[in-house]
Structure 1
Amino acid sequence: MTTLIIGANGQIGRRLCEQAAQSGHAVRAMVRDEQQNTFFDSIGVETVMGDLTGDMDHVFEGCDQVVFTAGSGGATGLDHTLMVDLNGAMRAVDLAREHGIRRFLMVSTLHVDPLKGPEKLRPYLVAKRAADAYLQASGLEHVILRPGRLSDDPGTGHIETDQSRASTGDVSRDNVATAILTLLKRQTSAPEEIVLLEGDHPIDQVLG
């Protein structure tokens, strides 16, 4: 079983690929630039050239699951947000379905209502909300992950999935990567939306 990682060269994607390689879980990292191959070669992860705004049909061949953890964030223009976070995500869902891939994990956002998010991020949040809805209507087995404010703190291996009980709105990228890998190893077909925040519950017990 091979999992395609879209957004593999991002901060969560790299952590996920490292953890997957260490645990023996087969992943394929989609990259846009051959220079990015150096890192993935060093950790023993297969790479494939693909572009969310261009050619990427071939990258899905032979994969069983997809993780979409790409994102333009709030630092790019609206045009890039639309091409990556909306159209890119929708194309990935379509191609996964066309290639007979059974399961799709979307790394989304805690802000389900864009108007309640930071003003500068609202176009990005709108794109994420539309992409989530597209995945939900696709018929694919899917999980939508809703991490809080991302940090570079070391992973604790513990999370909270109930926002009302969380003592913080943050979650480390390490913990998000661990949560994704835990879900990839789990066999389930029920659609899910999962909040990810720092907490006291072991990830493998909550999500395993």
Structure 2
Amino acid sequence: MNVLIVGANGQIGQHLVDELKDEGKHKPVAFVRKEEQVEKFKEQDVEARLGNLEDSVDEIKERMADIDAVVFTAGSGGSTGSDKTLLIDLDGAVKVIEATKASGIDRFVMVSAFGADDRDRWNEELKPYYVAKHFADMWLMDSSLNYTIVRPGMLENKETIGKVLAKDVITDSDVFSIPRVDVAKVLAASLENENTYHKSFDLVTGDKSVEDALNGL
């Protein structure tokens, strides 16, 4: 499959590009917003397409030619205000969902946030972010797309552990974090794993291989 990675220049996105390249089953296509990022991926022999999540649905759709699946890893980042959270994490995600549907693409994998499905679990300091993730996820679930929503715990820049816990809701784990590289491994494995179709789940470091954890959903 040709997999469009929205937010490919972000940390999870870059790990996912590397994961797909290394496994050789799917071709990563980077969706990025700066020309220098396009050039960076070209130097890595990765196709890159220039676009912006504040563009129109039609403009985003133009970047989806010959794409078989979309993975949304984009985010406004912790240094921006609530306005950008609204425009990128919510409206940007919704526009990508709408462009995906309009392009006739069926498969959509979303990176959400741990506990975004339940208001009682939201971090009050990050409430606008959780609101954005919550309603973007709802929009995706209400679409006709074959979705998977991955809600990772606290993201860490560590080497891969390779063992995860994936459940509808995780409240009983000793660990509530996960390396970004392991999130990317789960995203890659989810693309064709039918146990993840039309499912959303929390994700943290655990004691099962990625394959076993996803097969147990």
Q: Give your verdict on TM over 0.5.
A: yes
| Contact 1:73–1:121 (CA under 8 A) maintained in structure 2 | no
Residue 193 of structure 1 is matched in structure 2 by 200
One-letter amino acid of the structure 2 residue matched with residue 22 of structure 1: D
Q: Does 1:103 align with 2:103?
A: no
**Aligned pair 1:171/2:178, yes or no?**
yes
Once the two structures are superposed, residues 65-118 of structure 1 have per-residue CA deviations (whole angstroms, 9 ceiling, x without a partner) of 100010114431121111101110010010100000011101001122346433
Identify the residue that residue 82 of structure 1 maps to in structure 2: 86
How many residue pairs get aligned? The number is: 208
Correspondence for 1:205: 212
Of 47, 70, 75, which aligns to 1:66? Answer: 70
Q: Deviations over 1:1-34 (max 9, x none)?
A: 2111001000000000011111122111001111
Amino acid at match of 2:10: G
Give the aligned partner of residue 10 of structure 2.
10
Letter in 1 for 2:46: V
* Segment drifting more, 40-49 vs 12-21: 40-49
Contact 1:21-1:44 at 8 Å conserved across structures = no
Name stretches of at least 5 consecutive residues in structure 1 with no aligned partner: none
Q: Map Cα deviations across residues 132-170 of structure 1 (whole Å, 9 max, x no partner).
A: 000010111100001000000111111011423421110
RMSD: 1.7
Structure 1 segments of 4+ aligned residues over 4 angstroms from their partners: none
Q: Secondary structure at the match of 2:74?
A: coil
| 1:31 aligned partner | 32
Deviation at 1:196, TM superposition (A): 1.0
Instruction: State TM-score, norm by structure 1.
Output: 0.93
Secondary structure at the counterpart of residue 164 of structure 1 = coil
**Sequence identity (%):** 37
1:169 maps to a residue whose letter is F
Find the aligned partners of 2:122 and 2:98 in 1 and give their Cα distance: 28
State the Cα deviation string for residues 37-68 of structure 1 (Å, max 9, x = none): 24322332110011001132211111111000
Aligned equivalents of 1:27, 1:78: Cα separation in 2: 30
Q: Give 2:132's aligned residue.
A: 127
Q: Distance in 2 between matches of 1:41 and 1:60?
A: 18
Deviations 1:164-206 (A, max 9, x none): 3421110110100000011114356840012110011001222
Code of the residue aligned with 1:75 in structure 2: it is: S
Alignment-derived partner of residue 154 in structure 2: 149
Q: 2: distance between equivalents of 1:206 and 1:79?
A: 36
Normalised to the residue count of structure 2, the TM-score between the two structures is 0.90
